[in-house]
Chains A and B, each alone.
Chain A
Amino acid sequence: MTYLGIVSIIAGIMFGIGALAAVYRIIRGPSILDRALATDVLLAIAICALGAEMAINSHTDTLVVMLILSMFAVVGSISIARFMAKQDAS
C-alpha cells in the first residue's frame, strides 16, 4: 500500500467522523442557529474533503467547485441569521 493510500484512508475516517458529528448536530440542535452553524461546518468539511481528494489523486478538476462553494456558502447562514425572530426558541 502506498503512502498516500494510507493517508487517504485515515483522512477519510477523520472527515467522516466530522461530517457525522455535524449531521448529528443538525438533527439534534436545540435552536435553528445551531443547525445553521452545523450546516456551515458540514460544508467546510465537504470543501476540505474535495481538496484532499484532489491532492491525493493529483488532479485539479474540482477546483472550480471549491471556488463556487467558497463564494456562495455565505448565503444560507446569513439569511437564516438575518430573519431570526426574537421569540423563536424552537
Chain B
Amino acid sequence: MSAAEVAVGVLILVSAFLSMAAGIGIIRFPDVLTRLHAATKPQVLGLAVVLLAIVLQAPSWGVLTTIVLVMTFQLLTQPMTAHMLGRAAYRSDHVRYDLLIEDDLGHDIEEHDQEADAGSR
C-alpha cells in the first residue's frame, strides 16, 4: 500500500463526508438561505478533493487538463446558481427575517426606493 493510495482513500472519504454533511444540513436548516450555505460544500470542496484523488490515481496530462476544465466550469456556474436562488428567495419572501442579523439588501432597496420617490417629484 503506497502513500498515494492512502491519500486517495482519505480524499474520497473527505468528499463523501462533505456530501453527507450537505444532505444533513439541507434537512436540518430552517430556510432557503441557510440551506444554500450547506449545499455549496460538495459542489466546490467535495468536487475538488475527488478530482485530486482521480489525478493521484491516474496521473497523466490528459486527465489533469480535463479535471482543470471540470473545476473551472463548476466554479463558473455554481456561484451563478447560488446568486439566482438567493435573489429569488429574497424577492419571493422565502427568507426568515427573524433569523437575519443584518439585512443589507433591505436597507439598499429602501434607500433606492426613497431616491426614486424624491426623483419623481
Interface residues of A (CB under 8 A from B): 3-4, 7-8, 10-12, 14-15, 17-22, 24-25, 31, 33-34, 36-38, 40-41, 44-45, 47-49, 51-52, 54-56, 58-60, 63-64, 66-67, 70-71, 73-74, 77-78, 80-82, 84-86, 88-89
Contact = CB atoms under 8 A, between A and B. Distances in A.
Contact of B19 (A15, A33, A64, A81): A15
Interface stretch (B40-48, B104-112, B113-121): B40-48
B46 A41 contact: no
Nearest to A77: B81
Given A15-B19, A56-B12, A70-B47, 10 more contacts: A10-B16, A44-B22, A45-B23, A45-B46, A51-B47, A54-B57, A66-B70, A67-B73, A78-B84, A86-B93
Interface residues of B, number: 57
B73 A84 contact: no
Contact of B5 (A4, A19, A33): A4
Which DSSP category, helix, strand, loop or mixed, fits chain B's interface? helix
A25 to B, nearest CB: 5
Contacts, number: 187
A44 B42 contact: yes
Contact of A11 (B12, B27, B81, B85): B12
Interface string B77-94: 110110011011101111
B101 interface: no
A32 to B, nearest CB: 9
A22 B21 CA distance: 11
A7 B22 contact: no
Interface of B: 1, 5-6, 8-9, 11-13, 15-24, 26-27, 32, 35-36, 39, 42-43, 46-47, 50-51, 53-54, 56-58, 62-63, 66-67, 69-71, 73-74, 77-78, 80-81, 84-85, 87-89, 91-94
